[in-house]
């Protein structure tokens, strides 16, 4: 998995007297790249020079206007005849200003009419005009302003009615999209005067299963435009495709898990680097997560970072990112901590994005970081030396990642697919497209001599290791196999995993039954073993007096070291602990039951023998560690011994 690296946590002494930053943007002003932030209530506008890899604190400007409960400032870029300026402001009196950065200092270019409670969040350029749209702090609706191409204020726009307060707004393909407090996503047509008319909408009834949307961003992937929506109440990210005439189609819906860091999502940014679109999200989960947005609208988790005492990612309030030389520079502000945290994500060398033909066949990558997508046929997908993302399609597919940390995504198609070179701890699986898969315990897995196998419902996945050795699936976690939690548009039932032992409600009672030295006790076995001429322990013990009658028996050892003999009949041997010997095991007739205390997470007796067992002639030894060893005499066919063993 990719790694997010902290670079710098930058604060100034004055920041403790301000409210926290609510908005961040990266803007080129005064010939340099600047990170610009504005605080929530008190109108402090701060800049940081990010023209070099390490950021430096820049100019500070205090805006006009007092505090406004529940409100907050915003930062937008407006074109003027003299170049880009900031349109920013807020406060109780609604004072807004056009501000430029000259010689490292902020200068007020123009003051605008008072519009109390207006928070501008979007600039739309159309027909030589600039239209500014945003929500209201204390009412439903979309308000707006009209500027000409040179940045001159023309006048306010008519406020458009919405079902609730507007939480986020963006534009795509010439349309405006807003989401309000009723969790309704609405698409708007913009006319020549800046007026808005509704053209489409998504609600819970049409599959938009969110609560408390907080952010809305746009990205273009493989020529298709997508909206990405963050929602705090549902801790979710939703991808919506923008089609002809602004039509909306939900393509993906990912929810936060213990492995991700966007729970209570409040901040979102999207940046393109090396042909990939990266979605960066954070919120109340004290950290951020980075996803790749694939063609078709699927989000793939790439990296996560949690807050520490060395950085400020507690309750993330704003994110701004940029691409730079095979990396992402990510800047994060907190709603509860001062300062700006600078992070870096290395993106590697640019590769290709390619999709297999419908008929199937070979799809090859490059030495860069590729995105390779299977089609409807039987595909052979070969990644190169980069950190690749490989997704199969319908059909029986074979995936080879090659060197590098690769992500293998498997769709639900009811076919047997194969991964040829999986490296534990480096590569990852993403099985989140399998219906209602929520935990690794739902998967039935088996170790093989060259890797392992995963089964889930009618899905079969054969995984070969890169070094040709077995892979112990007990070393895998949810982070290694799930990739996220998805809520599909069409719900299908999931599947339970293999049976596991119930938790022990009380500890195992101590062994207080003394060894009385009866003919089939450990003391009798020790006496028999003293005679070096004895080669058949069973016969030696049977020569002791009072041999048990021949019948089907259940034979259980004590907590010590025991010799277990069943005699004739179909016997059941129960192994609890210690160093026990089953002296007369008959394959296909007798059975062995292992105490639940010995369950180590393996889901089959075959796996148990592969991991812990070894054969020496007619004796099989199963060494569980911790001095728990079971020796089985009389094994004639090691390959079928697993059929006679129950794990618990």
Bigger pLDDT: 119 vs 430: 430
Indicate the average pLDDT of the chain.
87
pLDDT tens, position by position, 312-364: 999 999 999 999 888 999 999 999 998 899 999 999 888 999 999 998 999 99
Nearest residue to 427 (alpha-carbon basis) of 442, 444, 410: 410
> In angstroms, rounded to a whole number, what is the distance separating the alpha carbons of residues 24 and 21?
8
Q: Which residues contact 452 (CB under 8 A, 6 or more apart)?
A: 445, 446, 463, 470, 471, 472, 473
528 pLDDT more than 70: no
> In angstroms, rounded to a whole number, what is the distance separating the alpha carbons of residues 77 and 33?
13
Mean pLDDT score, 176-202: 97
User: pTM of the full predicted structure?
Assistant: 0.86
Nearest residue to 196 (alpha-carbon basis) of 168, 162, 247, 232: 162
Bigger pLDDT: 65 vs 434: 434
The correct CATH number of 350-486 out of 3.40.50.620, 2.40.40.20, 1.10.238.10, 2.150.10.10 is 2.150.10.10
DSSP β-ladder status, 350-355 and 369-373: parallel
Q: What's phi and psi for 205, nearest 5 deg?
A: -65, -25
Output the CA–CA distances (angstroms, integers) from residue 618 to 394, 469, 526, 606, 608, in the order listed: 47, 26, 21, 18, 18
pLDDT tens, position by position, 474-486: 999 999 999 889 9
Q: Where are the domains of the chain?
A: 212-347, 350-486, 522-646
- For residue 407 the two structure tokens come to 């992500």
Consecutive H or E run containing 293? strand 287-293
> In angstroms, rounded to a whole number, what is the distance separating the alpha carbons of residues 464 and 455?
15
Q: Count of H helices and E strands in the chain?
A: 4, 50
523 pLDDT more than 70: no
* CATH level 2 (architecture), domain 212-347: 7 Propeller (2.130)
Q: Is the dihedral of CA 97, 100, 103, 105 positive or negative?
A: positive
> In angstroms, rounded to a whole number, what is the distance separating the alpha carbons of residues 236 and 388?
25
Consecutive H or E run containing 74? strand 74-78
DSSP string covering 93-110, please? TTEEEEEEEETTEEEEEE
Specify the pLDDT at position 16.
67
């Amino acid at each position: 998995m990719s790694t997010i690296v902290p670079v710098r946590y930058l604060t100034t002494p004055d920041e403790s007297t301000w409210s926290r930053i609510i908005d961040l943007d990266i803007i080129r002003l005064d010939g340099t790249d600047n990170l610009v932030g504005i605080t929530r209530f008190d109108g402090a506008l701060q800049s940081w020079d990010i023209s070099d890899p390490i950021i430096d604190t820049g100019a500070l400007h205090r805006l006009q206007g007092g505090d406004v409960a529940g409100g907050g400032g915003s930062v937008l870029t407006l074109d003027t005849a003299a170049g880009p300026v900031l349109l920013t402001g807020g406060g109780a009196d609604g004072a807004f200003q056009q501000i430029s950065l000259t010689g490292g200092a902020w200068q007020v270019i123009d003051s605008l009419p008072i519009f109390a409670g207006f928070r501008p969040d979007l600039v739309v350029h159309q027909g030589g005009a600039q239209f500014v749209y945003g929500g209201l702090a204390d009412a439903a609706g979309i308000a707006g302003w009209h500027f000409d191409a040179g940045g001159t204020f023309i006048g306010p726009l008519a406020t458009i009615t919405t079902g609730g307060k507007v939480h986020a707004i963006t534009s795509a393909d010439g349309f405006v999209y807003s989401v309000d407090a009723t969790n309704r996503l609405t698409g708007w047509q913009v006319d020549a005067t800046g007026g808005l008319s509704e053209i489409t909408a998504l609600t819970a009834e049409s599959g938009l299963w969110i609560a408390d949307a907080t952010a809305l961003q746009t990205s273009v992937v493989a020529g298709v435009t997508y909206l990405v929506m963050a929602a705090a109440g549902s801790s979710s990210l939703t991808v919506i495709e923008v089609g002809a005439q602004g039509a909306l189609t939900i393509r993906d819906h990912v929810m936060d898990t213990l492995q991700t860091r966007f729970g209570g999502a409040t901040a979102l940014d999207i940046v393109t680097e090396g042909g990939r679109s990266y979605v960066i999200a954070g919120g109340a989960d004290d950290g951020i997560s980075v996803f790749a947005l694939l063609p078709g609208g699927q989000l793939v988790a790439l990296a996560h970072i949690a807050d520490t005492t060395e950085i400020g990612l507690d309750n993330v309030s704003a994110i701004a990112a940029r691409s730079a030389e095979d990396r992402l520079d990510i800047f994060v502000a907190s709603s509860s901590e001062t300062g700006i945290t600078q992070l870096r994500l290395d993106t590697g060398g640019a590769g290709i994005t390619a999709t297999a033909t419908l008929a199937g066949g070979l799809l090859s990558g490059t030495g860069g970081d590729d995105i390779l997508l299977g089609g409807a046929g039987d595909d052979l997908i070969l990644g190169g030396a980069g950190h690749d993302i490989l997704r199969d399609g319908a059909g029986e597919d074979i995936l080879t990642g090659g060197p590098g940390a690769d992500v293998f995504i498997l769709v639900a198609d009811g076919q047997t697919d194969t991964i040829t070179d999986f490296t534990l701890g480096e590569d990852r699986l993403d099985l989140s497209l399998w219906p209602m898969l929520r935990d690794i315990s739902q998967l039935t897995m088996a170790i093989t001599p060259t890797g392992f196998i995963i089964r889930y419902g009618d899905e079969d996945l054969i995984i070969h290791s890169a070094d040709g050795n077995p892979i112990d699936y007990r070393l895998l976690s949810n982070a290694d196999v799930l990739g996220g939690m998805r809520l599909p548009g069409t719900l299908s039932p999931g599947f339970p995993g293999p049976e596991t032992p119930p938790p022990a409600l009380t500890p195992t009672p101590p062994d207080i039954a003394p060894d009385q030295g009866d003919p089939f006790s450990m003391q009798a076995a020790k006496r028999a073993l003293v005679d070096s001429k004895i080669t058949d322990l069973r016969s030696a013990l049977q020569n002791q007096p009072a041999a048990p009658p021949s019948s089907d028996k259940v034979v259980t050892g004590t907590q010590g070291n025991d010799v277990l003999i069943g005699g004739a009949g179909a016997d059941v041997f129960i192994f609890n602990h210690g160093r026990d010997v089953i002296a007369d095991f008959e394959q296909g007739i007798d059975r062995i039951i292992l105490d639940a205390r010995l369950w180590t997470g393996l889901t089959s007796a075959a796996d148990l023998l592969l991991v812990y067992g070894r054969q020496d002639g007619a004796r099989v030894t199963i060494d569980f560690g911790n001095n728990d060893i079971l020796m089985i005499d009389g094994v004639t066919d090691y390959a079928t011994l697993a059929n006679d063993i129950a794990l618990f």
